Amino acid sequence: MFPNKTVKQSLIDNRYIGRKPIYEFLKKNAEHMKGVLLDYGAGTMPYKDLFANVHKYIGLDYAVTASSAGYYKEDILYYDGKIIPLNDETIDSVLCNQVLEHVDDLDLSLSEIYRVMRPGGVLLLTLPAAYPLHMVPYDFRRFTYYGIQKMLEELGFADIKITGSTCPKDTIRRLRLFCVPCRFQKIYAFIVNMLYLIECNALSRRRNWLNSIRRILGKQQKDYDENNLLYPLDYLVICYKCR
């Protein structure tokens, strides 16, 4: 379910397959976010309520894209998209959700995020892998597993864990929605989303059962499907700034 939406509103939304895994990823890892949190590319800050452990929440966004998208808010810090107007090592946690495909200078943006983070700070990052053009003309790139790993390691991030949001079948399900005529999209989206939800629940029960077996055998448990790294809609990342 999306933040601030009912189950019905969520299930007729053609973004459900893409947004549900992101929401669950952020919710699952919210406990790691503490202290001062920077929401980089905050938009309307839809996930703010998930992070109960932080004592200060700073929303930051690029003024030009915020104005063009129509979500300019008074409680967000707007800047020129270059140098973050915060001092070095003043941020404990950073959320960067579906933002880096829109920045002009990727290296500068990531360096600035790293600069303002305290040693040991945590970064929650989501990036698109297979997604149609959006926020045109401010849509510049897509990402791969190995590209993400390389750019974070080179900056100095450690303990990098990357998962994919969807398996290839669900990625294609989501993309196929763009081929459906607008007048049928809500009905088609509801059918596809319900099938996706039913299968997710079945896979979750199967994973729990297999993990119970692995636990008994003393083997490593898995909380995601490695097949999801092949062709996901998005990559979901948690990593830490080296101490």
Greater confidence, 223 or 213? 213
Band of pLDDT at residue 120, cut at 50, 70 and 90: very high
| Residue-averaged pLDDT of the chain | 88
Is residue 136 scored above 70 in pLDDT?
yes
DSSP, residue by residue, 42-65? -TT-TTGGG-TTEEEEEEEEEHHH
Is residue 208 scored above 60 in pLDDT?
yes
> Residue 69 burial (CB < 10 Å; 0-12/13-18/19+)?
middle
Band of pLDDT at residue 235, cut at 50, 70 and 90: very high
Is residue 83 scored above 80 in pLDDT?
yes
**Which pLDDT score, from 0 to 100, does residue 14 have?**
84
Of 86-100, 117-131, 220-234, give the lowest mean pLDDT range.
220-234
What whole-number distance in Å separates Cα of residue 235 and Cα of residue 232?
7
Nearest to 240 by CA among 74, 121, 141, 148: 121
Joined together, the tokens standing for residue 127 give 């990036």
Residues 6 or more apart whose CB falls under 8 angstroms from that of 230 comprise 164, 167, 168
pTM of the predicted structure, to 2 decimals: 0.87
Greater confidence, 222 or 27? 27
What whole-number distance in Å separates Cα of residue 124 and Cα of residue 152?
12
Q: Which helix (H) or strand (E) holds 211?
A: helix 185-217
**Which pLDDT score, from 0 to 100, does residue 63 have?**
81
Half-sphere exposure of 205 (CA within 13 A, CB side): 5
Joined together, the tokens standing for residue 30 give 């919210």
- Of 185-189, 228-232, 238-242, which has the strongest mean pLDDT? 238-242
CA dihedral 127, 129, 132, 137 (to 10 degrees): 50
**Which pLDDT score, from 0 to 100, does residue 172 have?**
92
Is residue 210 scored above 70 in pLDDT?
no
Burial 27-62 (b: 16+ CB within 10 A, else e): eebbeebbebbbbbbbbbbbbeebbeebeebbbbbb
Is residue 224 scored above 70 in pLDDT?
no
Greater confidence, 208 or 235? 235
Is residue 1 scored above 60 in pLDDT?
no
Joined together, the tokens standing for residue 8 give 């019905």
Nearest to 36 by CA among 57, 12, 63: 57
Is residue 219 scored above 70 in pLDDT?
no
Segment 149-170 shows an average pLDDT of 94
